[in-house]
Amino acid sequence: MAIHVKNLNYYYGDFPALKNVTFSVATGNFFIIIGPNGSGKTTLLKVMAGILKSQTDQLEILNRSVDHYSRKALARTIAFVPQMIPVDFPFSVTEIVLMGRSPYLGILGLEQEKDLEIAKQALTFTGVEHLAHRKLDQLSGGEQQRVFVAKAICQEPEIILLDEPTASLDLAHQVRLMDLMEKLKNERGITVVMVSHDVNLAAMYGDQLLLLNKGEIIRLGNPKEVLTFQTLEEVYGCTLLVDESPLGNSPRVTPVPRKYMT
Amino acid sequence: MFLGISMGSTTSGIKVVFQSLLKAKESNPMLDTIIWQIRFPRVLLAALVGAALSLGGLVFQALLRNPLAEPYILGISGGSAIGAIIGILMGFSRFPGVSLMAFGGSIAILLLILVMSSGQTILKKDALLLSGVMVNAFCAAVIMFLVSMTQDSRLHNIIFWLMGDLSMVDMGHAGILAAILCPCFILIFWFSNSMNLLLMGKEMAQTLGVNIKAVTVILLVTTSFMVSATVSYCGLVGFVGLVVPHLLRLVFGPDHRVLVPACVLGGGAYLVFCDVLARVLPKQGEMPAGVITAMIGAPLFIFLLKKTRR
């Protein structure tokens, strides 16, 4: 198991964001967490990343309790790609990607030749090597997102966690990013855990989907098991049409506008 | 010319001072004494204070992820000044007494600002700056109050000191300050890579293995300590922590492993330069260096504020 979460409860003050959540992510899976706004997806991801901590949970990473990891050891195992990244300071793409090496560096944090080599490979892998010397704030949203994926790869993790990476991207960049994660999974055996709003992308790429609502697990399984018409209408509270994708072998979800409902 | 000073070390700044000195008072038999007894400690003090304040600005900008943050603008310096004035009025000696009072004042203001800005996300720049400006205004009022309550010979001293005065030191004082500040410089350099990661946001820094709480507390306390030490020796020298890191970032980029040493050298050189101006510009006597730094720094701050609002 890459990740095992047992009896997780998480509160913001008195408000329960996650209630008694238990599940596992198999190693080498493309695991996508879906659910309506405020269902606790991002909270769950942040608990898995070690950013949020609750008293009741038992979190196991690679079959070892998370408490047995030092900060740096955890950073060498799990990489996290947040949704919003502030770009107020003019770092170059190379500098950002090299930050992924910091859990491997000595006390003064100086990079060696080897670290530069790994950074270069990560940039090539994500297809942004031509941007290496540009400043981050000069890049488009899709390019920035791939730079941060390259940074995550530079951490040489076993697991990558991403928080709605496709949210602000155009169609081409969405597919490129999802393809990239799939390539990462297939070629390097990295477990990918992603929070996504896009049910259809999740259906096409996910090995396992986890459907959350109001802090509880509604369904866990492959896309066909999770994305059923009944479950989705109940969770999202709107009229939906679920049929087979024209590409075959995965469900397609279409929300139905009111004007078609007569 | 300015770049030449800041790119070099503080010693090149000292040379400038010596040259300007030699022009003003040539063939004076007292020259050696003046240089070594008065001018050298003063230049050393200016360099130390400039280095500490620039570094303070750099650290605050990194921790608050706000390129406009600076101890003076946020009121940390003002808090130290209140503590220091109370210390002076209570008749403490400058080194342990006044410095500790200044440190207490700066920590109090630091906590106040953190509490005020913790409700919102720290990314809201204007909220943070506004609370800082208000804290600063409040500190200024308290300082005025304390000054107006003072009616003896200490008054002139306090006022001149407040404006950022570098003239009242001897070698011993400068030595003590150096002994206080140098460990702080090293400690901050130790954390320079963590500061890089913190600029990417707390979540990113944490998942890269940074102990955020520990790093933040250590850096904030160290910085407040440095700032209060400088305030207790030479009052309010403003905007150094804004001007120097910004100029250096333009030259060297945002990597703190380069910026920390650059700020120590460049900040030192900058304040030495400002102090030279403060001594050379007025026809009679001299003015506090804080006047010069504010005259350069405040317009730059307004310019940067406009630029970041874009």
Taking only the tens place, the pLDDT of each residue in B259-302 is 999 999 888 888 888 887 777 776 666 677 778 888 888 888 78
Identify the structural domains of chain B with CATH numbers, from first to last. Answer: 2-309 (1.10.3470.10)
**Phi–psi pair at A199, nearest 5 degrees:** -60, -35
Measure A20 CA to nearest chain B CA, in Å.
Answer: 24
Per-residue pLDDT of chain B (310 residues; tens, 9 = 90+): 333 333 333 344 445 545 555 544 444 445 555 555 666 777 788 888 899 999 999 998 888 887 888 888 888 888 888 888 888 777 666 666 777 888 888 888 888 877 776 655 544 556 777 777 888 888 888 888 888 877 776 777 777 777 766 766 667 778 888 888 889 999 999 898 888 888 888 888 888 888 888 888 899 889 988 988 888 888 788 788 888 898 888 888 888 889 999 999 888 888 888 887 777 776 666 677 778 888 888 888 788 777 765 5
Distance of CA A169 to the CA centre of its chain: 15
CA dist., res. A206 & res. B190, Å (int): 43
CA dist., res. A66 & res. A100, Å (int): 20
Q: Which of B125, B197, B208 to mutate to test the interface with A (most CBs of A within 10 A)?
A: B208
Distance of CA A23 to the CA centre of its chain: 16
Q: Residue A143 corresponds to which tokens in the numbers above?
A: 């390019």
Name the closest residue on chain A to residue B309, using Cα atoms. Answer: A88
Taking only the tens place, the pLDDT of each residue in A71-125 is 889 999 999 998 877 677 788 999 999 999 988 887 766 788 889 999 999 999 9
DSSP-derived pairing of the beta strands A208-213 and A30-34:
parallel
A168 touches chain B (CB under 8 A): no
Give the residue from B211, B241, B203, B201 showing the smallest Cα distance to B223: B241
**A88/B201 Cβ within 8 A:** no
Query: Which residues from A are below 8 Å from B66, CB to CB?
Result: 88
**Secondary structure of chain A in HEC code, one letter for each residue:** CCEEEEEEEEEECCEEEEEEEEEEECCCCEEEEECCCCCCHHHHHHHHHCCCCCCCCEEEECCEEHHHCCHHHHHHHEEEECCCCCCCCCCEHHHHHHHCCHHHCCCCCCCCHHHHHHHHHHHHHCCCHHHCCCEHHHCCHHHHHHHHHHHHHHCCCCEEEEECCCCCCCHHHHHHHHHHHHHHHHHHCCEEEEECCCHHHHHHHCCEEEEEECCEEEEEECHHHHCCHHHHHHHHCCCEEEEECCCCCCEEEEECCHHHCC
Establish, for the pair of chains A and B, how many residue pairs have beta carbons separated by less than 8 Å: 85
A112 touches chain B (CB under 8 A): no
Q: Which of B198, B204, B256, B305 to mutate to test the interface with A (most CBs of A within 10 A)?
A: B204
* Predicted complex ipTM exceeds 0.90: no
Name the closest residue on chain A to residue B196, using Cα atoms. Answer: A99
A157 touches chain B (CB under 8 A): no
Measure A236 CA to nearest chain B CA, in Å.
Answer: 29
**Phi–psi pair at A191, nearest 5 degrees:** -80, 125
Give the closest of A46, A85, A110 to B201, CB-based. Answer: A85
**A89/B199 Cβ within 8 A:** yes
Chain B interface with A: residues with Cβ < 8 Å? 65-67, 123, 190, 192-194, 196-197, 199-201, 203-204, 206-211, 249, 253-255, 257, 308
Predicted structure pTM score: 0.82
Name the closest residue on chain A to residue B245, using Cα atoms. Answer: A89
Q: Are B227 and B80 in contact (CB under 8 A)?
A: yes
